[in-house]
Amino acid sequence: MVERIRHDAPVLVIGLGRFGAATAGQLQRQGREVLGVDEDPALVQKWADRITHTVQADARSIDALQQIGAQDFSIAVVATGSSIESSVLITANLVDLKVPQIWAKAISQSHGKILARIGANHVIYPEREAGERVAHLVSGRMIDFIEFDDDFVLVKMYPPKAIRGLSLTDSQVRTKYNITVVGVKSPGKPFTYATEQTVVSNHDLIICSGTEKDIDRFASLDD
């Protein structure tokens, strides 16, 4: 039976550059215990007072990882910078230490494939994902955009003119545009889940789901 990882389990973050520091800082704000590791003493010192623990160590050495107790963590984030070799070696060390859940940052598709093959459970492409997200948001109608692995996306957006003032049944959102309106947020009112009778007004925000292609087409409808 696979051991379930506690939702508040301590997290090992290796690499305290921009991505690693942002991850460690957010985890700390969520009340998680964090051990931040970097071989740069200046970064370790910078973050010493901002996250639970910091330590200077070369995570490319499995002996160094054992000395800091990496094998006792259930979750590790490999957030090292542009060195693919270092990233791969650190990830392999964590796999050898049997860390159950490893999140690793990749800077390219080929880098990500290597990380996945050697045992990273989750591969993150922060620059690419941020770029894709911004590209969708600059269209103007979308306010937030989340993409899942299977081309399924969830967006918060302003409703196109074609569906305003109509119930979801009358606007035929699902049949015409192949998207689902999950919920509606009206000004000054709490979020409500959408039903077939829900009427979308000019000032509402809507939460929609569908494929990326269908959502982009829906968001680009003329006003």
**Model pTM?**
0.70
Distance between CA atoms of 101 and 88, rounded to whole angstroms? 15
Nearest to 19 by CA among 63, 77, 65: 77
- Residue 7 token pair: 């939702």
Architecture of domain 11-124: 3-Layer(aba) Sandwich (3.40)
- Residue 187 token pair: 């000004």
pLDDT of residue 3: 56
In the chain, the percentage of residues whose pLDDT exceeds 90 is 64
Pick the CATH number of 130-219 from 3.30.70.1450, 3.90.1660.10, 3.40.50.1240, 3.90.550.10: 3.30.70.1450
For residue 83, report the phi and psi dihedrals to the nearest 5 degrees. Answer: -85, 105
pLDDT, one tens digit per residue, over 79-128 is: 996 789 999 999 999 999 999 999 999 998 899 999 999 999 999 888 77
pLDDT of residue 2: 45
SS3 67: helix
Instruction: Give the C-alpha distances (Å, rounded to integers) separating 38 from 18, 21, 26, 173.
Output: 12, 10, 18, 50
pLDDT of residue 62: 97
Question: Which is higher by pLDDT, 79 or 142?
Answer: 79
Dump strand ranges (E) for the chain: 11-14, 34-38, 53-56, 75-78, 101-105, 122-124, 142-147, 152-157, 180-185, 192-193, 205-211
pLDDT of residue 1: 38
pLDDT, one tens digit per residue, over 23-80 is: 999 899 888 899 999 999 999 999 999 899 999 999 999 999 999 999 999 999 999 9
- List the single range of 16-20, 95-99, 137-141, 144-148 with lowest mean pLDDT: 137-141
pLDDT, one tens digit per residue, over 170-218 is: 999 999 999 999 999 999 999 999 999 999 998 899 999 999 889 888 9
Q: Domain ranges in the chain?
A: 11-124, 130-219
Q: What is the mean pLDDT of residues 122-135?
A: 78
End-to-end CA distance of the chain: 54
Sign of CA dihedral 77, 83, 86, 91: positive
Q: Which residue has the tokens 């520091």?
A: 21
pLDDT bracket for residue 13 (50, 70, 90)? very high
Distance between CA atoms of 47 and 70, rounded to whole angstroms? 19
